[in-house]
Amino acid sequence: MNLQVPVTAPLFKPGDMVRIPLVWPEQKGPCHIRTPAYIRGHSAQIICHFGAFPNPEELAFGKPAQLIHLYHVAVSLSDLWDDDAKQDASLLIEIYEHWLEKLSP
Amino acid sequence: MSKKYKNPIAAGHHDLGGSQDFDNAKVNLDDESIDFEDFGARVDALRLVLGAKKIMSVDELRRGVEAIPREEYFQTQYYERWLRSMIYILLEKGLIEAKDIA
C-alpha cells in the first residue's frame, strides 16, 4: 500500500452539505480523535479541500498512516449554541474525510 | 453562549470544547507553587528530542495525555500531563521499564 497517495479522489467539493457522524469511538478504548464532540451529529457545508494528510488516529499509535482528505467545513453557530449566536455566523473547522457523511440534497 | 447539546455527549474528558465548567478560571501569576518556566521548558525539550529522533510523535503524545484517567487529568498541570504521557508511551514501546522511573 502506498501511504503517500490517497486511495480515492476527494469525495466532496466546496458547497456540498455533509454531516459529522454521531459516533463515539473513544468509548471503545484509548484513541486520539481530532473531531471534537460538540460538532458530532451536526450538519456542515464544505468550504474547501486542503489536500490529504496522514491520519492522526493512526499516527497516535505510531503506525504508518494513510493519507486522508482534509476539509474546512462550516457549522452554523445557531445550530451549535442556544444564544448569542448570530444567525449568519458559523464555525470553520478542519475535518478529515472519514468524519464526514454526504447529506442528500 | 450556552450549551445546546441536542446530542448525547460521550466524549473523553479532555474534549472540553463547549464546556462551561472552566469559564473564567483565573490564573494567579503570584502563586509560587506554579513553576511557569523551568519544568515546562524541560518537558518540552525532552519531547522535542523524542520527536527529532523519531521515537515518539506529537500524535502519540496526545493519545497518552488523553489516556490519563479523569481524576488525575484534572489534578495535574499541562506539562505534568505531557511528562506522564511520555512515560506511558515509552513504557508501551518497551524503551523504558517501570524500575527506570524512581
Give the model confidence (pLDDT) of A7-56 as tens digits.
789 999 999 999 999 999 988 888 999 999 999 999 999 999 999 999 99
Q: Report residue B87 as a C-alpha cell.
A: 512515560
**B85 belongs to a structural domain:** yes
The domain in which residue B43 lies consists of: 38-100
- Side-by-side strand order, sheet with A17-19: A90-96, A67-76, A43-54, A17-19, A101-102
In chain A, residues with a C-beta closer than 8 Å to the C-beta of B53 are none
The rounded percent of chain A whose pLDDT value lies above 70 is: 89
Q: Is A94 helix (H, G, I), strand (E, B) or coil?
A: strand
Q: Domain holding A51: CATH number?
A: 2.30.30.50
* pLDDT surpassing 60 at residue B53: yes
**A3 belongs to a structural domain:** no
- The number of domains in chain A is 1
Query: What one-letter code names the amino acid at A10?
Result: P
**A4 belongs to a structural domain:** no
**B5 belongs to a structural domain:** no
What is the CA A85 to chain-centroid distance, rounded? 22
Contacts of B26 (CB under 8 A, 6+ apart): none
The domain in which residue A39 lies consists of: 17-102
Asked if A63 is an interface residue toward chain B (Cβ–Cβ < 8 A), one would say no
**A12 belongs to a structural domain:** no
- Helix-helix angle B38-52:B78-92, to 10 degrees: 30
pTM: 0.85
Which of B2, B3, B4, B92 to probe the A interface (max A CBs under 10 A)?
A: B4
**B31 belongs to a structural domain:** no
**B29 belongs to a structural domain:** no
In chain A, residues with a C-beta closer than 8 Å to the C-beta of B88 are none
**B59 belongs to a structural domain:** yes
- The number of domains in chain B is 1
A36 contacts B17? CB cut-off 8 A: yes
Gyration radius of chain A's alpha carbons:
15
B67 contacts A59? CB cut-off 8 A: no
**A79 belongs to a structural domain:** yes
ipTM: 0.82
B12 contacts A26? CB cut-off 8 A: yes
Distance CA B4, CA A98 (A): 25
